Structure 1
Amino acid sequence: MRSVWALFLLCILYFISEVESECNRIPQGASGDRSAVDENFKILIDGNPTTYIPGNQYNVSLSCPNGLKFISFTLALEGEDQSPIYNGLDMTGHFELFDNTDTRFATGCENLVESTNTNAKARIDVSWIAPKQPESGCVLMKASVVQHRDVWFIDDGFLTKRICAEEIDDLNSLTPPLQNCCACDEAKYEILLERKWARNTHAKDFPNEAWRTHLGEIIGASHNYNYRYWAYGERASKGMKELAEHGSTRTLENEIRENTQNGQVRTIIKAPGISYRRNVFGTTLANARVDKIHHQISLSVKINPSPDWILGISGLELCLSNCTWLERKTLNLYPWDIGTDSGPSYMSADEAQVPPDVIRRITSSYPSDYRSPFFDDSGAPMKPLATLYLTRKKLYIRECEEDMMDQDGPLECATHPWNEWNNCSARCGPGLSQRMRSYKNPILAANYNCDRRLDEMRQCQGTQCGVDAEEESPNADTGIEQDGSSFGVGSMAECELTTWSEWSPCSATCGKGISTRSRDYFNSRARARCMTAVRLPLEEQRQCFASDCGGTITDNGEFDDLPQPDVFGETNEPSGKSWNNNAYNKPSGYNSLDNSHNWPTTIQTPYAPMDTPNQHYQSPYSSNDQGISNYNEYGTDYTTPRQMPYFTTRLPALGSRYNDRPKDASNYKVVQDYCFKKPEASTTPCLANPVTVRNYWFYDHEDHECKIFTSDNCDENRNRFRTLDSCLATCYDPQLNLERTENEAMDLYEGNANSNMANNYNQGYAGGPTPNPYYYGAKRGRYGT
């Protein structure tokens, strides 16, 4: 009996040894102990992605950028999470072979590729199909190589590549915004919204009458870089308020449509809502067209029932920095509170929020109110209410023809015709093709600061799958030669880039600034060859808006990947080309939704001399006989607590309450004296009940700019305005017109014009340099330092 058991154990051990030998990852021809890591050999993935999209195909190579060769190898896939709950699921994806000359699948061992011979190799290429399950997590690619019999490496250094599933949160995975899209082609996208909001996924306080729950009508637009009809940190427009509170899209659609005429918007996106269907994830479908001008999209949809909650995206970038269009994108959508209704739950009664708040993201910890259906004491991540799928359905090929301005430009900037498009950078799969041209007279063009584009890239598809590079015709034009081999087969792998550095801090502490990040080639010796073949950017810049301007609106950095709007609800500064040469033109529409600034082409007639009385001045204690309301936009009295009879010993300066009211530029024809007094911090406590603190504008006569400061509702400073418009109209515009009068009079004086006109410029206050009304400086009041 013992002999039978011994024989059985021997069979088991033999079977185990056979299984281990089948999946042995030690490469063929290796002997002795593994060598110490030297990080010469690397696993590279074309494009150097740090995340993968489930189900996508990626080109993977094993090589040594320093020119060393190896004789054999193994390449395996492993899931980082080995939990038994994932048994039976595809958690690693699988390899596919380009050719069978140097690569084959190991017999009886899943997801292991090995060499077919011991010939010297510079590189091997395979294709990896990423796992399709979104919960696949991270995948490890592990390699072993034999440089020669006694020198071999396994898993160390760059022989292990870790790549994780792409985060599909609507904030964390947004494509970096591009101010200028270089894609020549146009694209059509299919937009699919799938509802995930149901009782079994969001059980807390889910409405008892489930049939009442639905996602409202989708509305959105494809638009340019500057346009936003809603954004984090901004206050909602009237159209957004009606959408979020009542589900009505009419006003918002009209607001968007107004911006189609000025070129801000190309396509208005509309789709029906998604009603409740038991045990079914409903969907709705829309389409959008984008081009190199209108390369971003925004969407919004009301959550019903809710006080003022929406789902949506704002300024999603579809254009890539390599001049191509995003192929597909998946985003999980979470609720946003637009700040016009203070109700905390689905079925809350209408309760206007006074004053309105800015648009904020709802999370499991914000608002910190147990009545919120999304609040969780543990802070556990919230489940998405919907998922948005964007798929590029069609490309409309457009040649990158020069625009009319370029064609009619100066002769000094004339260029030679474009070269032919060069070969695709990838032999198999997606890649890039480039063409170039040059100035006819480079020295003259440099002297005239010509800025015409001299190189262009477009997407291409490598078709030489399964063809060995050495079998190609030596006369074929495959790119730049490197060590006697073609550049075309693995240019992207050899030219692997480091990951982008972190974005630098904003160059401004308050308002608009610039943030930069950089990267470089792993193989610095190949930089020149790589940049000649496919010129990829090594540095990027983006606009940033610093929010350290006082007040209670904070930015903790969690929205750095989004295009940052101004947190005070004002418009962004336009690009440099929008600032025309006329220094006296006044921008119009400071609070417009499209962030566009149309400059007048004519100069207004100067205002009357300074001795003209201010016809709109009114004492805060006089009767209102001019029809001017004593109530602000929130329906509350402008009178501050220090103006009330109870505080008669602390009366404010005359006219203080009128400063909070927006004024037209014609209201004041002279510069008011209080415009030359900066706000001063109060040393006495505010006795108002309640005390409210907010941001105001004041005019800084030294810098000739309207700036922001923070104060309470007891502040008696007269140089204090609720809106930028009020500050500009009361102080900035009269000062600007005075300077314009001076300059016009000086021009007439220098031209021997009428001497009386030449003397008029001395009236009023002396001006300084041309003010910039869009400077968002910071100044602290009562609560400042």
Structure 2
Amino acid sequence: MSFLTMLGPSPDWNVGLSGEDLCTKECGWVQRLVTDLIPWDAGTDSGVTYESPNKPTVPQEKIRPLTSLDHPQSPFYDPEGGAITPVAKVVVERIARKGEQCNVVPDTIDDIVADIGQEEKEEDDTPETCIYSGWSPWSACSSATCEKGRRMRQRMLKAQLDLSVPCPHTQDFQPCMGPGCSMEEPSTCMMSEWISWSACSVSCGMGMRSRERYVKQYPEDGSLCQLHTEETDKCVVNDECYTIPCMLSPWSEWSECSVTCGRGVRTRQRMLKSDPAECTEELEQTEKCMLPECPVDCMMSEWSEWSECNKSCGKGHTIRTRMIKLEPQFGGRPCPESIQRKKCKLRKCKKSCKRKPWTSWTDCTKPCGGGIQERSMMVKKRAKASLMESCKNLKEIRACNVHPC
């Protein structure tokens, strides 16, 4: 016996059996088989929860049993790493036995005669030396429409008393049509009695129970039986503990981070599947997320006023400065220039005034945050007393150490 059943809505999780032997060594059927089922992964989809979006696995993986540590968001996850819990149980129980168990030749002629007496023999050309079981019920018609089909019955050769006399066929076929196509009055299905109710699906509270029956014989016209073979019913075990449990869906995948750089938050949700009054669990979770730091651009102060011209006559220049308030970080925009110069032009200088060369620049008045430096040019010789005012000592000032402290 083999079967496979899907664990919906997952597209590739399933449970089932493969090649389970229901025969005994004595050529009979086992009375009862009980097997716990664990989930298997067909390897065609990469979702980790029942509600994950379909995402085909490329290349396809091998079919394998799931484990409790496959993924933290898996419904089968066990943080302690224990064996996975069975998700289903299959119970196969023999409910009836019809016909012979095996094609066994009886030991004595008396046994053969007794078998013949018990069987309902039909009028045919079967030699008396061929001993058969009774014919099985007719199968359902191979056609479900009014097109011609056929149905089959079969019997088992139990003994051949004279090997020189051939035994005829063990299968018989008959033409038929689908349900409602025969002009004759159709016969009814022959059903077995209902099997007793199964145990309640819960040990406390409200659950479900079921019972089954099977088709003993199909209608003679080859039609299918329309009677149902299974019934279900509610059952209650101990009314005092009957409550509606809080049912929640698995958590969704985490959302994208709320920012594209730096620190943000992300969220995930789950849905309520039962009465809200019975549930106090949270339906949304939020956690911090950290991405690479955001770029920081350089910040500059405002420009200072223009300085006085560095000369009292002729051509000179004047300057203005600004300071760096914030250095660039993480790839931000670099700092622009912090000093600007422009020309200044005064009246022509008298050649009668002679000066010494410029002195060296003095030390900066501050180590950081913007200081100044000075240098001077002293008068070496005045030609006339009347040039006293125009022939003066000169002084220059400039900004220095403009970087922030």
TM above 0.5, yes or no, is no
Q: Which is strand-richer, 1 or 2?
A: 2
TM-score if structure 2 supplies the norm length? Answer: 0.25
Q: Between Structure 1 and Structure 2, which shows a larger proportion of helix residues?
A: 1
> TM-score scaled by structure 1?
0.14
Task: Determine which structure has more spread, i.e. the larger CA radius of gyration.
Answer: 2
Using CA pairs below 8 Å that are at least 6 residues apart, which structure has the higher relative contact order? 1
